[in-house]
Amino acid sequence: MCCGVFRVFGGVGAIVALILLVVALLKQLITLVGFLLALVKVAIIVVFVALLVMIVLAILRDRRRRRDDLKDL
């Protein structure tokens, strides 16, 4: 009788341990996905700022070129 009880509790313990392991791994997976999404958002912001800087520099360069052309005339 004693061995049967240990087998039942052993099986239940294994199932509980497996469930807890799956929950822990899912938490880590959710954390990883959240970190990757944040990284993508930061990358999008950096690219957007770089694009704006390039546009401003192009505008300023064009204005300077036009001003220099008017001085030559």
Distance between CA atoms of residues 59 and 67, nearest Å: 12
More confident: 17 or 32: 32
DSSP conformational letter for 73: -
| Phi, psi dihedrals of residue 71, rounded to the nearest 5° | -70, -35
Structure tokens at 33: 């996905």
pLDDT at 6 over 90: no
Looking at residue 31, its pLDDT comes to 96
Q: Indicate the pTM of the whole model.
A: 0.63
User: Taken in order 38, 43, 44, 48, is the CA torsion positive or negative?
Assistant: positive
For residue 16, is pLDDT > 60? yes
